[in-house]
């Protein structure tokens, strides 16, 4: 005997439609739900099928199972109306004005199918005007998805919300959990720490009951990012009581400001920028044969540009390095100091050292090097800056090495190089300095020599020579290998890799075309070469592209093109607070105007 199972797609919808018609005509309704004097006829069977609350209510042993009228006192008429419409039609009418009533009814009556719809509605309608309401409703009804999304929206757009008068904004009505999550966040763009502190103080004073949460909020303020006058006012204010531990953090931050030269050594969570990401700093050099004053930032992942700051001294043939997320710019040639010199020269070699703090967008002139230096190299070991060799006044070559102690803000002499040299390159591997190439006082041509310096031993040691003599080139350390890249006047475009363990050099895939006077920086395992010049028809021609060398796969790739030719620059990676897309566009335009 054979049989088959058939399914009618329209039957379920027809049943719901017929139930709705019966309710509208008040036919076969066996119960009336009364809320605030309003009567809602319904069918016990459908209510029990849609709600665990009604299923329990209408069991045989309850008095409501035989009652024809049931009074509901907790929920509102509007909420019940919306939930009954949902039960009978599967459609839920939602608006911000009725959402709370609807959620209360859905939660109380345990109509669970309606709650995710309310949550999605909150996510979809979250905007500047409603975000604070949304996050509070989501918190009240434990809508975790909506709460997470609404808090993310507020964090991203907090700078816009703070543009309004705090007395008139719903920010001060935020629930405790969301306020704590916001202040804990590392991803708040375009909001100063001072503005966050003001928000916390105003939020705590908006309802004095909240003062019990002062400690957890103050524990997440980054005091190192607050100006000195703000820290002093916070310490002496009496509106919000401060615990002893909070006062200690404020005093620590005041001391942090009192010794600015030591700040790179004092970095911790409380002086770390929020919403920060890596930007490649393009510092100094020339564009269109004009000295560049503007320091540009480049995001290698999004290919976006921004104007970061202006140099206090236009330079070329200088060095840069980063310690504690502070950018140091050392020495070089400058056209600015030459006007005060009695020598017949358009450029002047300087010993000046500036340090840039991205936290406060400020430059600080620290102690200058003992000697004026250009075309030298600098490296960092144990947060000490080593400046080595270079060209001094009147084109004299230097063999001297000096070390900058950040803690004391002083330069001291170190073991001299084996010979006077300039145009050499340097890098650090396992706390050992390596320098290569350059030109010496005894050689007119470029050198292949390589030396290493161990700070503990205090001596320079000769290592295996490069196979190519190089001058004005660059070195980079990636994992366990050292790479040397192109310099000036090289007949080929080969690069080499050095293994410090075996003291051996290996030739690698050459760059497609020659290049010199470029900026170099390492991002993850890729070495980027930015701008520079190349030889073409016996002339120096500026290049505008950025190329990357994949050290793992020994291959080159063109990343993008710069908007203008840039050469003689130095590059370092700095963590900056992120900006919005519109800010980046404005910064790029501003940067181009500065350069051009």
Cα(289)–Cα(286) distance, rounded to whole angstroms?
6
Helix 144-161 and helix 176-184, axial crossing angle in degrees, nearest 10: 60
Contact 117/92 with Cβ under 8 angstroms?
Answer: yes
Three-state SS at 576? strand
Tell me the fold of 276-595: Neuraminidase (2.120.10)
Cα(282)–Cα(299) distance, rounded to whole angstroms?
11
Cα(557)–Cα(572) distance, rounded to whole angstroms?
20
Give the rounded distance of the alpha carbon of 544 from its chain centre.
26
Question: CA separation (Å) from 129 to 69, 132, 160, 371, 512?
Answer: 42, 8, 11, 60, 55
Tens of pLDDT, residue by residue over 133-183, are 999 999 999 999 999 999 999 999 999 999 876 555 789 999 999 999 999
> Rounded mean pLDDT of 410-417?
96
At 587 the pLDDT is: 47
Burial per residue of 417-441, b for 16 or more beta-carbon CB atoms within 10 angstroms, e otherwise: bebbbbbbbbbbbeebbbbbbbbbe
Measured distance between the N- and C-terminal CA atoms of the chain, rounded to whole angstroms: 90
At 20 the pLDDT is: 72
| Secondary structure string (H, E, C) spanning 230-269 | HHHHHHHCCCCCCCHHHHHHHHHHHHHHHCHHHHHHCCCH
* CATH topology match: 1-125 vs 276-595: no
Three-state SS at 18? helix
Which range in 45-49, 107-111, 534-538 is most confidently predicted, on average pLDDT?
107-111
The helix (H) or strand (E) run that includes residue 216 is helix 214-218
| Secondary structure string (H, E, C) spanning 334-389 | ECCHHHHCCCCCCCEEEEEEEEEECCCCEEEEECCCCCCCECCEEEEECCEEEEEE
When pLDDT is cut at 50, 70 and 90, the band that residue 588 belongs to is very low
At 592 the pLDDT is: 43
Cα(438)–Cα(504) distance, rounded to whole angstroms?
19
DSSP, residue by residue, 111-174? -TTHHHHHHHHHHHH--TTTHHHHHHHHHHTT-HHHHHHHHHHHHHHHHHHTTS-GGGSGGGG-
At 571 the pLDDT is: 96
> Rounded mean pLDDT of 53-67?
81
pLDDT at 392 > cutoff 80: yes
When pLDDT is cut at 50, 70 and 90, the band that residue 402 belongs to is very high
At 23 the pLDDT is: 73
**Structural domain boundaries of the chain?**
1-125, 276-595
Helix 144-161 and helix 114-125, axial crossing angle in degrees, nearest 10: 20
When pLDDT is cut at 50, 70 and 90, the band that residue 119 belongs to is very high
Of 12-26, 80-94, 557-571, the poorest mean pLDDT is in 12-26
Residue 122 half-sphere exposure toward CB, CA atoms < 13 A: 33
At 167 the pLDDT is: 53
Three-state SS at 76? coil
When pLDDT is cut at 50, 70 and 90, the band that residue 343 belongs to is low
Cα(359)–Cα(86) distance, rounded to whole angstroms?
53
Does the global pTM surpass 0.75? Answer: yes
When pLDDT is cut at 50, 70 and 90, the band that residue 30 belongs to is confident
Three-state SS at 560? strand
Q: What is the mean pLDDT of the chain?
A: 89
The CATH number assigned to the domain with range 1-125 reads 3.30.710.10
84 CB neighbour count, 10 Å cutoff: 22
pLDDT greater at residue 421 or residue 580: 421
Instruction: Summarize the chain as % helix, strand, coil (round to 5).
Output: 35, 30, 35
When pLDDT is cut at 50, 70 and 90, the band that residue 492 belongs to is confident
pLDDT at 407 > cutoff 70: yes
Cα(572)–Cα(283) distance, rounded to whole angstroms?
8
Nearest partner of 566 among 317, 292, 364, 344, judged by Cα: 292
When pLDDT is cut at 50, 70 and 90, the band that residue 491 belongs to is confident
The helix (H) or strand (E) run that includes residue 327 is strand 326-334
At 590 the pLDDT is: 46
């Amino acid at each position: 005997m054979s049989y088959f199972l058939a399914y009618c797609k329209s039957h379920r919808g027809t049943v719901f439609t017929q139930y709705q018609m019966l309710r509208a005509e008040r036919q076969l309704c066996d119960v009336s739900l009364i809320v605030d004097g309003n009567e809602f006829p319904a069918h016990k069977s459908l209510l029990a099928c849609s709600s665990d609350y009604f299923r329990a209510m209408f069991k045989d042993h309850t008095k409501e199972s035989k009652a024809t009228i049931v009074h509901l006192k907790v929920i509102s008429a509007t909420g019940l109306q919306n939930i009954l419409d949902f039960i009978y039609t599967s459609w839920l009418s939602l608006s911000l004005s009725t959402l709370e009533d609807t959620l209360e009814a859905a939660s109380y009556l345990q109509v669970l199918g309606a709650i995710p719809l309310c949550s999605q509605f909150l996510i979809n309608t979250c905007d500047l005007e409603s975000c604070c309401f949304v996050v509070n409703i989501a918190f009240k009804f434990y809508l975790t998805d909506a709460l997470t999304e609404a808090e993310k929206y507020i964090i991203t757009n907090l700078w816009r919300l703070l543009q309004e008068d705090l007395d008139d904004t719903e920010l001060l009505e935020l629930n405790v959990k969301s306020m704590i999550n916001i202040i804990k966040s590392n991803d708040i763009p375009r909001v100063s720490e001072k503005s966050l502190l003001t928000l916390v103080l105003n939020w705590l004073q908006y309802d004095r009951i909240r003062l019990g949460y002062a400690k957890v909020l103050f524990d997440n303020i980054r005091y190192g990012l607050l100006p000195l006058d703000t820290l002093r006012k916070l310490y002496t204010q009496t509106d919000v009581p401060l615990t002893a531990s909070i006062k200690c953090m404020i005093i620590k931050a005041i001391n942090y400001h009192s010794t600015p030269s030591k700040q790179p050594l004092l970095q911790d969570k409380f002086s770390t920028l929020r919403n920060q990401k890596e930007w490649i700093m393009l510092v100094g050099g020339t564009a269109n044969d004009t000295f560049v004053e503007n320091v540009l930032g480049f995001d290698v992942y999004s290919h976006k540009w921004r104007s970061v700051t202006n140099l206090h001294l236009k330079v070329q043939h200088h060095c840069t390095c980063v310690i504690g997320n502070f950018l140091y710019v050392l020495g070089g040639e400058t056209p600015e100091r030459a006007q005060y010199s009695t020598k017949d020269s358009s450029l002047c070699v300087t010993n000046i050292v500036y340090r840039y703090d991205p936290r406060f967008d400020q430059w600080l002139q620290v102690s200058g090097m003992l000697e004026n230096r250009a075309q030298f190299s600098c490296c960092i070991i144990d947060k000490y800056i080593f400046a080595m060799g270079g060209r001094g006044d009147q084109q004299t070559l230097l063999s001297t090495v000096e070390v900058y102690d950040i803690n004391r803000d002083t330069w001291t002499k170190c073991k001299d190089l084996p010979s006077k040299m300039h145009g050499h390159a340097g890098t650090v591997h396992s706390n050992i300095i390596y320098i290569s190439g350059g030109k010496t006082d005894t050689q007119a041509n470029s050198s292949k020599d390589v030396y290493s310096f161990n700070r503990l031993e205090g001596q320079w040691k000769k290592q295996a020579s490069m196979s190519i003599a190089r001058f004005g080139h660059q070195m980079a350390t990636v994992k366990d290998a050292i790479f040397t890249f192109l310099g000036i006047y090289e007949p080929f475009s080969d690069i080499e890799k050095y293994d410090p363990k075996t003291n051996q050099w290996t030739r690698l895939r050459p760059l497609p075309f020659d290049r010199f006077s470029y900026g170099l920086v390492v991002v993850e395992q890729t070495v980027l070469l930015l701008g520079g010049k190349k030889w073409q028809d016996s002339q120096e021609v500026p290049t505008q592209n950025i190329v990357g060398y994949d050290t793992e796969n020994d291959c080159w790739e063109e990343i993008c093109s710069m908007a203008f030719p840039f050469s003689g620059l130095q590059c370092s990676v700095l963590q900056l607070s992120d900006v919005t897309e519109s800010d980046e566009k404005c910064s790029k335009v501003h940067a181009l105007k500065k350069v051009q």
